[in-house]
Structure 1
Amino acid sequence: MTLLIKESEVTNLIDYREIYNSLVNAFELFENKLAINLQRSRISFKGATLTFQAAAMEDYIGYKTFISGNFLIFLYNISGELLSIIESDRLTQIRTAILSVIASDFIYGDYSSIGIIGLGKQGIAHVEVINEIKKGIKINVFTQSKSRLEKAISVLGSEGISVNVSDSIKKICEDSEVIVSITKAKDPFIKLDYVSSKRKHINAMGSNIPEKIEVYPEVVKASKIIVVEDFIQTLQEAGELVIAKKMNMLDESKLVTLSSVISKKVTIPKEGITLFKSVGIGLEDLAVGKLIYEKALSKGIGNEIEVKGIWYRELERK
């Protein structure tokens, strides 16, 4: 039987620290070639785009697919049995935010302030996660949309979360040790002079198609190290790196994987700009999907449904 886990059930199973640990474990496996990630593929037709990203680790193989904001994880065992279908919109928001925290922790280290640029549902999730995992940290926020700011303040206020509202991108960059950009911007907005102090770390989380870019090429060029999830997928999808490469402003020798950073195989510079360019990969979705499935199974949560995917004649049953 296949376990169907709905959004409301997923939300009740989410534990930020457990997701943090599951992602770190997945990248450690990836570094040791005990997990694999398949580059994302997309198909677009009449304005709709279906995305597919897959991975395998331990005794699991699976993928996430999404279209028009509908996110689903399909989890199989290595025998090919469909174990679970997981609704994963909220889970995607949370794993993205926690990934941002992981990158900041392992690349920058200790920090007392963080700036979030963009306050859509992903930006709000970042604030929620950071407020819980990094208790006492100063959270600065910025969005150009007044309505989004008002909505975010209302949502966060109802959860007892307070933030410091910056009046410009320059100001939030100056006031924050770690900067997170989580927008749908097509034009860059993080300039080199905004982050040219002694030490800054940037998590560029918003762009995963070449046509979108949040960070100016000059920042990419000036970065001491550029951390990515998957070399091939990032160089294909990350707008910041695609543009910088075209302009001869990308030194690929600076590229390292997050898995190598987590495994402490890379020395991180203690001065200058460090950059984490995330595009989101299937391995992350598999890791959190596995966690949610195993928790649901142990707690008796979810609905069992019969999904075979195999046709046979009545006589073949006998």
Structure 2
Amino acid sequence: MALFLNEKQVDELLSLKEAIDALEQPIREQGLGLAFNKPRTIVKGGKGSVSVLPAAIPSIGSMGFKTYTVGPEGARFWLMLFAETGELQSLMESENISRIRTGAATAIATKYMSRANSKVAAILGTGHHAPTQLEAVCAARPIERVYAWSRTPANVVAFCEKMTRKLGIPVEPAPTARDAVREADIVTTITSSMEPVLFGDWLRAGTHVNLVGAMKITCREADSRVLERADVLAVDDVEQSKAEAAEFVLAVKEGKLKWQDVLELSQVVASDTPKRTSADAITVFKSHGIGLWDVAAAARVYQLAKRQSVGVHLPIEQPVVVLGGGDPSRIKV
């Protein structure tokens, strides 16, 4: 029987550490052509929209999709996880999966793209996703000090106090974004800004940048100089980025970047050759989120839920319709 898991249960089951472990191998397999992802599909109608992010990971026997709706009241997130046989394994509320798997991807990108001796981090933005993002950077590198900036001073002070307690290292408010970035080895942006909050001329040699906010094509966290200075550029999905990553789309339009020079994170992780060519190289990862990360994280949640007897079994019949005379090659749907 299919298992239902709510947000509270998912949050209690899926730690950031578990999510990092769950995502890293599927991301590598994606780069090797052994795991499969399709870009986000968005359909708008009336007052709302529905988005779908599908993926399949044969090595763990799972496939599925995350879907979310956006309407006048806000967003609702769901995930359907299937066995490779097509049987529904689980229906989950998935806002927490989205938050945690996004952090896990940042940790993996930081592990493979930043300098191993990175000690100082900066985070621009202190909203809902910021704590997980900062935890992710600290999970990937031995961070000793963090500078944080937000457009709302009260928010950044509260964020710094909370994260100092949680991480056990100094997390200090910076008066400006530029001040936050000044000494940073790793910079993470997690804002909804429509105009750049990070500028390329601010970056020190050897900096790694995670651009994680600005989820719409109308939003932009970094100026084109950030991308122009980068020695290595990676995104989660190139085709999806062509529709969603304003920083990259604009830089290409300005002639400062070519799409053929942009890697996918899966290629970076799967490569036997280090992509960082020197200690002074600047690297950039742009994250929008893909279904492969959702399915990998959800599969781990499902395994943990079964092991701990968490969730509600749904009395859903799953009748099999035999198509094409039982010959899969003849099936057309």
Give me the TM-score of the superposition, normalised by structure 1: 0.90
**Could you say which residue in structure 1 is the equivalent of 2:179?**
171
SS of 1:64's equivalent?
Answer: strand
Moved over 6 A (4+): none
Distance 1:311 1:136 in 2: 52
Change (3 A) 1:243 1:208: same
2:299 paired with 1:299: no
**Could you say which residue in structure 1 is the equivalent of 2:326?**
none
Deviation at residue 169 of structure 1 after TM alignment = 1.0
Question: Which structure 2 segments of 5+ residues have no match?
Answer: 322-333
**Could you say which residue in structure 2 is the equivalent of 1:316?**
none
Paired AA for residue 177 in structure 1: D
Distance 2:142 2:97 in 1: 21
2:274 paired with 1:245: no
Q: How many residues align?
A: 311
Deviation at residue 159 of structure 1 after TM alignment = 4.3
SS of 1:308's equivalent?
Answer: coil
Identify which range, 43-52 or 60-69, moves more after superposition.
43-52
Paired AA for residue 107 in structure 2: V
**Per-residue Cα deviation, 1:194-252 (whole angstroms, up to 9, x for no partner):** 11x22211111113332111110122122111111222112221111111111111133
**Could you say which residue in structure 2 is the equivalent of 1:122?**
129
**Per-residue Cα deviation, 1:284-315 (whole angstroms, up to 9, x for no partner):** 00110000001111111111012336699xxx
Contact 1:94 1:129 in 2 (8 A): no
Contact 2:42 2:52 in 1 (8 A): yes
Question: Which structure 1 segments of 5+ residues have no match?
Answer: 313-318
**Could you say which residue in structure 1 is the equivalent of 2:84?**
78
**Per-residue Cα deviation, 1:50-93 (whole angstroms, up to 9, x for no partner):** 22111001221101111233221110112221110112212211
Change (3 A) 1:181 1:201: same
**Could you say which residue in structure 2 is the equivalent of 1:203?**
210
**Could you say which residue in structure 1 is the equivalent of 2:66?**
64
Paired AA for residue 250 in structure 1: L
Identify which range, 224-233 or 148-157, moves more after superposition.
148-157
**Could you say which residue in structure 1 is the equivalent of 2:331?**
none
Identify which range, 132-141 or 163-172, moves more after superposition.
132-141
**Could you say which residue in structure 2 is the equivalent of 1:184?**
192
SS of 2:122's equivalent?
Answer: strand
Aligned-residue sequence identity (percent) comes to: 23
**Could you say which residue in structure 2 is the equivalent of 1:52?**
52
Contact 2:35 2:56 in 1 (8 A): yes
Paired AA for residue 213 in structure 2: G
2:243 to 212, 236, 240: 236
**Could you say which residue in structure 1 is the equivalent of 2:325?**
none
Change (3 A) 1:135 1:54: same
**Could you say which residue in structure 1 is the equivalent of 2:101?**
95
Contact 2:2 2:88 in 1 (8 A): yes
Distance 2:172 2:161 in 1: 14
**Could you say which residue in structure 1 is the equivalent of 2:26?**
26
2:284 paired with 1:275: yes
Identify which range, 251-260 or 30-39, moves more after superposition.
251-260
Contact 1:63 1:74 in 2 (8 A): yes
Contact 2:37 2:54 in 1 (8 A): yes
Deviation at residue 258 of structure 1 after TM alignment = 1.1
SS of 1:297's equivalent?
Answer: helix
Deviation at residue 151 of structure 1 after TM alignment = 4.5
SS of 2:92's equivalent?
Answer: strand
1:8-27 counterparts in 2 under 5 A?
8-27=8-27
Contact 2:236 2:264 in 1 (8 A): yes
Distance 1:251 1:93 in 2: 30
Distance 1:234 1:160 in 2: 32
**Could you say which residue in structure 1 is the equivalent of 2:327?**
none
**Could you say which residue in structure 2 is the equivalent of 1:144?**
151
2:35 paired with 1:35: yes
Give me the TM-score of the superposition, normalised by structure 2: 0.86
Contact 2:6 2:92 in 1 (8 A): yes
2:317 paired with 1:308: yes
Distance 1:157 1:261 in 2: 32
Distance 1:75 1:299 in 2: 18
Identify which range, 219-228 or 266-275, moves more after superposition.
266-275
Deviation at residue 145 of structure 1 after TM alignment = 1.3
1:287 to 266, 272, 296: 296
Deviation at residue 155 of structure 1 after TM alignment = 4.6
